[in-house]
Amino acid sequence: MRPSMFRSVQSAIARSNASSSARIPCRNYSVDSGPERKVAVLGAAGGIGQPLALLMKMNPLVSKLALYDIAGTPGVAADVSHINTRSEVAGYAGEDQLGKALEGSDVVIIPAGVPRKPGMTRDDLFNINAGIVKSLCTAIAKYCPNALVNMISNPVNSTVPIAAEVFKKAGTYDEKRLFGVTTLDVVRAKTFYAGKANLNVAEVNVPVVGGHAGITILPLFSQATPKANFSDEDIKALTKRTQDGGTEVVEAKAGKGSATLSMAYAGALFADACLKGLNGVPDVVECSYVQSAVTELPFFASKVRLGKNGVDEVLELGPLSDYEKENLKALKPELEASIEKGIKFASQS
C-alpha cells in the first residue's frame, strides 16, 4: 500500500508553509500529474460518497471528477469544486444524467446503496442493493465499457458477481477491469496488528484475502510484516476483530449507518492504486476481490498487481498457517453461496 497521493499533498502543504513564511500568499496544494484521467463516483452524495469525493479531489492523478447520485450532487459538487486542486468537478443528479457522468471515465467507484443497521448482515442489504448495482452497471456497459469498476456497495461478495453478469450480457465483460473494494479490511488489519505489536503502522503490511463479510474475510497475519511475536490466541483475536470491524462501527453508530470515513479513505487508496496502474507505475499491488485465478471459486479477494489494463496478475495466496488453512476451508461454502446468489439474481432479473 503506497499512500503517495497523501505524500504529494503533504509535500505541497510543506512547500506552501515554507512560502508562507516568505509571505507569498497564493499556492496550489497539488500539481498536475500524469495523463488526463476521469473518475466517476456513483452515490457521491452519501456517507461514503462525500468524503470520497473530497479525497479524489485531492488526488493529483485525477483531471475530471464526476459526482453522480439520485439527488444532492449539485451541492456536493459545488462545494468540492472550490478546492484548488487539478480536477474539474461536475455534479450529476438523476438517471437522465448518468450517461453524461459516466462518459469517458477511466475509473468508476460505486458506493451507491443502503448501509447496515445494528443486527443486520451485509447480505440483508442484497434485496435493495442488487437492483441498484445492476442498473448502474448496465449504464457503465453502455457509456464507459472500458472503465475500471471499483465496487464498494454491499454485499460485495454478491454485487461483484452481479456486475460481472451484467457486463457479460452486454458483451463488455473484462475480468481485468472489475474489482470488489476490500481495502478497508486491509486498513483495519494493519491498524489492529500495528496497535497490538506497538509497531509503526506506516511500515506494516497485512494481506487480507477471501471475501468481504464475516468469516469470508481472511487476514493472513502469518504473512504480516514486520514480524511480531504473537501467541495463537493473539492471532485469533486479531482475526476476529478484523472480520468484525464493520460490525464494530455499525454498532457504535447505533442505527446511523456503517463505516463511511475509513471507507472513503480505503476507497481513495484503492482508486489511487488503480490510477497508478493505468499510468504505468510499476509494482502496484493491492488486495481486491476479483475473478479468481488462484482458487476454485469464481471470485476471491487476493493480492493483485495493477497495470495499464487493470489486473495485471492475481498473485498466489502464498504459504498459510494451519489456522489460516482451516479458516480458508471454512469460508469457501459461504463465499460460494454469495457468489451464486449474485449470479442467479443477475441472470433471472
Ligand X SMILES: O=C(O)C[C@H](O)C(=O)O
Residue identified by cell 470491524 is: 245
Query: Which of ligand X, ligand NAD, none sits in contact with 271, Cβ below 5 to 8 A by type?
Result: none
- The answer to whether 82 is a known catalytic residue is no
Which residue from 32, 40, 265, 34 is spatially nearest to 146, judged by alpha carbons? 40
CB within 8 Å of 174: residues ≥ 6 apart: 146, 167, 309, 310
Query: Which of ligand X, ligand NAD, none sits in contact with 70, Cβ below 5 to 8 A by type?
Result: ligand NAD
Angle, alpha carbons 100-105-110 (nearest 5°): 90
Q: Catalytic pick from 134, 176, 212, 303?
A: 212
Please report whether residue 258 would count as binding ligand X according to CB under 6 A. yes
Please report whether residue 51 would count as binding ligand NAD according to CB under 6 A. no
Which of 65/156 has CB closer to ligand NAD? Answer: 156
Q: Which of 37, 116, 190, 341 binds ligand X (CB under 6 A)?
A: 116
At 260, the amino acid letter reads T
Give the CA distances from residue 224 to residues 73, 102, 129, 201, in Å, rounded to whole numbers and listed in that order: 40, 38, 34, 12
121: which 3 cell numbers? 448482515
CA distance 299 to 125: 20
Cβ-closest position to ligand NAD: 46
Q: How far is the CB of 71 from ligand NAD (least distance, A)?
A: 6
Residues 189-228 that bind ligand NAD (CB under 6 A): 212
Please report whether residue 276 would count as binding ligand X according to CB under 6 A. no
Please report whether residue 275 would count as binding ligand NAD according to CB under 6 A. no
CB within 8 Å of 74: residues ≥ 6 apart: 91, 93
- Dihedral pair phi/psi, residue 260, rounded to 5°: -120, -45
Please report whether residue 182 would count as binding ligand X according to CB under 6 A. no
Q: Are 126 and 155 in contact (CB under 8 A)?
A: yes
Q: Which of 163, 184, 250, 331 binds ligand NAD (CB under 6 A)?
A: 184
Q: Which of 77, 217, 263, 301 binds ligand NAD (CB under 6 A)?
A: 263
Summarize as ranges the residues that interact with ligand NAD (CB under 6 A).
Answer: 42-43, 45-49, 69-70, 111-116, 125, 129, 132, 136, 152-154, 156, 181, 184, 212, 257-260, 263
- The catalytic site residues sit at 212
Summarize as ranges the residues that interact with ligand X (CB under 6 A).
Answer: 115-116, 122, 154, 184, 245-246, 249-250, 258-259
